[in-house]
Amino acid sequence: MNSETESEKKSPLILVADDDRDLVFALSLRLRSMGYRVIEATDGEDAFQKTKEYKPDLVILDVRMPSGGGFSSLERMKHSLYTRTIPVIFLTAFEDEEMREEARLMGAKGFFRKPFDDEEFMSAIENLVGSPR
């Protein structure tokens, strides 16, 4: 993150939080290759702290993570003046319509079930934060 260039800084910043490090690495690599800036987190607490610190343009949260899953992270974000407007996309391996509905009611902007459709996922990101510069 420290080696980001000036041009990269102008690109939207995305936080990817998932306890599956392989998936986080893959998503980061792909988003970066597209021109986005990415920060990573692997548990709920880390995700919330980094959201507060970096105020990303988008947060991608796994529903089930250690020390607070995606839902609790989003709840904490909604209580903070600095983070409440940041859009959130959920990722989950669970198949649960109620969960999807709860996410929607909490204000999540997207809900993707793993394994997700790549094109759909990337276009949802682009719709929320715009194309990378």
Partner 1 sequence: MRSYKVCYLGHDREVVLALERALSGTNMKFMSAFPDGEGVNQALEFGVDIILWDKDNTPLDEPVPIERIRKMGFASQPIMVVVSEGDSESAIKSLAAGASDFIYKPIKANPLPRIIAGLNVGQHQKRVGYYVRMLEEANEGIKTILASLKDPAYIVSPEYQILYMNPAAEEIFGEGLRGGACYQVFYDRIEPCDVCRKGSGSARWRSVLKNGKTYRFISVMVKNPRGEIQKLAVGVDVTPGEEVKKIHQTFISNVSHDLRTPLAAIDQYVSILRDGLGGELSEEQVKYLDIIRKNSFRLRNLIENLIDANNILSGKFKMKMEVMNLKDIVKIVESQLEEQARGKGITFGVQVPDDLPPIYADASRIAQVIANLAGNSIKFTEQGVVQIRAGFMPRDEGRIIVSVEDSGIGIPREDLGKIFDLFYRVESDKVYVEEGAGLGLSISREIVRAHGGTLWVESMEGMGSAFHFALPVYKSKQVASQTPGERQGTGG
Q: Write out the DSSP string of 17-35.
A: E-S-HHHHHHHHHHHHHHT
Shortest distance (Å) from residue 14 CB to partner 1: 15
Q: In this complex, which beta carbon is closest to partner 1, that of residue 53 or of residue 117?
A: 117
In the region spanning residues 30 to 69, those forming contacts with partner 1, defined by CB under 8 A, are: 30, 33
Told to check if 114 binds partner 1 by CB under 8 A, we report: yes
Q: Is 82 an interacting residue with respect to partner 1 (CB under 8 A)? A: no
Report CA torsion sign: 78, 82, 86, 91: negative
Q: Is residue 27 involved in binding partner 1 (CB under 8 A)?
A: yes
